[in-house]
Structure 1
Amino acid sequence: MRIIVAKDYSMMSKIASRMIETEIKKNPRAILGLATGSTPVGAYKKLIDAYKKGLDFSKVTVFNLDEYYGLAPSHEQSYAYFMRENLFNHINIDISKTYIPDGMTKNPKIECRKYDQLVRESGGIDLQLLGIGENGHIGFNEPSEELQIDTHLVELTHTTVSANSRFFESVDDVPRQAITMGLGSIMKADKIILLASGENKSKIIAKTIEGKVSTSTPSSLLQLHPKVTLIIDQEISNYLKIKNLWRENIQDKDVYHTSIGF
């Protein structure tokens, strides 16, 4: 696992967007897995800036990690709406090549099988962008004694509902279920970027990279993936045991990196 420590959220977002931009320039038909929530918004803004400077998204395909179950794509808190507002409406991506689970489906099992089939038929995800929940969920794969491999309907934990309530008028308005890619689907991505910033994510990042691999911390399974880049801010790094961080030879100041696991 490669760890990059940026001085702040803005720098973290810049580094993440640069990595995605590099992937698209290398492969204009790149298959991207994208996340929602507050963490990747900064990276999406910088990707929009890159588009304005000439980055071409016209041949890119996107698969989103998840969607709330019971919210229509037009709902302001649906992830379909989020992606349109924060990225898709501002770049030249072909909307027919953007895929998000159908939160209004009457048959979640069929929808989940269909979603996994679409990913397989596309050739698989080249680069997967992830955020992380305070309880270690990635996508909406919540801590459990057992984790599902494929896309599935999940019951959201109280921790997740409470954390996401800031986006709704009331905690009572937060959906209690979601459709999410499973850990197997996520781990099949060729490369993964995990983003985290802020002191509230420090404990879970420490468990993710310094703790044992466990289904009680779903994000810890990323230790088993051969090409994960974790991008965190300086605030989180202060809580980690890893101290041998050195300056990375890129153009920006206050960026450090290290590698663990191999």
Structure 2
Amino acid sequence: MKIIVADTSGQAFQHAADMIAEEIRGSQAPVLGLATGRTMENIYQLLVQQHEAGTLDFSGTTSFNLDEYVGLPPTDPNSYSHYMQEHLFSHVNMPAGQGHVPNGVAVDLEAECARYEAAIRTAGGLGLQLLGIGETGHIGFNEPPSAFDSRTRVVHLDDVTRRQNSGMFGDDPERVPERALTMGVGTILEARRLVLVAVGEGKAAIVDEALNGPISEAVSATAIRLHDDVTVILDEVAARIWHRNKE
């Protein structure tokens, strides 16, 4: 595992964007696993800037997002499909249909999960998987406990997660959907390369638990330590507790 501690959050975002850009340029048919959230908005903005400068071509890229809320159509401003259009897809030359997000309004959610897994396999598997980390230690929406061999499935969201994500829902956790579709931990671990990004004081304790605590299905982010090619990118604030404890 490689851990990069940047002086500032901006530098952390730049490290992550550069790694994704390297992945796109280094493959004839790159397949990215993408994530959402405020941290990712900054990373996508940097990638869009590279594309607009003419230095990054998305035309051969395929992507698969980690998750989507159950019950929100792609047109809903709070859906992750809408998020990806707003922050990345509509600004780059990735062909329509190559940016995949689970369908949270599918009639048969179990079938949608199986379809999503099959689509990842058909694309050749995930190359670089971008990850954040939630307050419960989840990657994707893999709330505790999540089996390390779990696949894309329907999950119930923890109250902590609903509260953490309520900012997009008028700061009302009750408006945050109770269920989501998420790639499983096992699906994530099959990616060739993992890049986890965390910044800010609010992530310091869970980053320490993920990197220093027991490897356990109670904290799904600890599973990344089982992977052969992992880069964790932190700013100094998010790294504070981990750095103290590792010494």
Report the alpha carbon displacement of residue 233 of structure 1 after superposing the two structures with TM.
0.3
Which of 196, 199, 208 is the aligned partner of 1:197?
199
RMSD over aligned Cα atoms: 1.5
Question: Retained in 2: the 8 A contact 1:141–1:147?
Answer: no
Name the CA distance, whole Å, in 1 between partners of 2:86 and 2:141. Answer: 21
Indicate conservation of the 8 Å contact 1:126/1:190, yes or no: yes
Q: Does 1:187 align with 2:177?
A: no
User: Residue 53 of structure 1: CA displacement?
Assistant: 1.8
Whole-angstrom CA distance in 2 between matches of 1:235 and 1:134: 15
SS of structure 1 residue aligned to 2:125 = coil
Q: Which range moves more in the overlay, 26-35 or 143-152?
A: 143-152
Structure 1: which 5+ runs fail to align? Answer: 246-262
For 1:125, the aligned partner's letter is L
Aligned positions of 1:208-227 closer than 5 A: 208-227=210-229
Question: Residue 6 of structure 1 aligns with which residue?
Answer: 6
Task: Work out the CA distance in 1 between the residues paired with 2:10 and 2:243.
Answer: 24
Instruction: Give the superposition deviation at 1:6.
Output: 0.7
In structure 1, give the amino acid aligned to 2:43.
A
Number of aligned positions between the proteins:
245
How far apart, in 1, do the equivalents of 2:245 and 2:99 lie? 40
Change (3 A) 1:108 1:10: same
- Check 1:14–1:145 CA distance in 2 against 1; reply closer, same or farther (3 A cut): closer
Whichever residue aligns with residue 232 of structure 1, its letter is L
Deviation at 1:145, TM superposition (A): 6.6
1:122 maps onto 2:120 in alignment: no
Partner of 2:25: 25
Provide closer, same or farther for how the CA distance between residues 132 and 32 of structure 1 changes in structure 2, counting only shifts above 3 A. same
Structure 2 letter corresponding to 1:236: A
TM-score between both structures, scaled by the size of structure 1: 0.90
Q: Give the CA deviation at 1:163.
A: 0.4
- Aligned residues of 1:28 and 1:56 also touching (Cα < 8 A): no
Q: 1:32 to 1:38 in 2, by over 3 A?
A: same
Cα deviations across residues 133-152 of structure 1 (Å, max 9, x unaligned)?
A: 01100000001174661100
Gap change, CA 1:228 and 1:145, over 3 Å in 2 = closer
Corresponding position of 1:144: 145
CA contact (8 A) 1:150 1:184 kept: yes
Instruction: Give me the whole-angstrom Cα distance separating, in 1, the residues matched to 2:234 and 2:245.
Output: 14
The Cα of 1:28 is off from its aligned counterpart by 3.7
Per-residue displacement from partner, 1:184-235 (whole Å, max 9, x unpaired)? 1000000000000011111111011111100111000111001010000011
CA gap of 1:158–1:243, structure 2 versus 1, over 3 A, is: closer
Q: Deviations over 1:73-115 (max 9, x none)?
A: 0000000000000001111111211111001012111000000
Q: 1:112 & 1:24 partners in 2: Cα distance?
A: 26
Letter in 2 for 1:209: L
1:38 corresponds in structure 2 to 38
Amino acid at match of 2:202: N
Answering whether residue 78 of structure 2 is matched by residue 61 of structure 1, we say no
The one-character-per-residue Cα deviations of 1:147-199 (angstroms, maximum 9, x if unpaired) are 66110000000000010011112222110000000001000000000000011
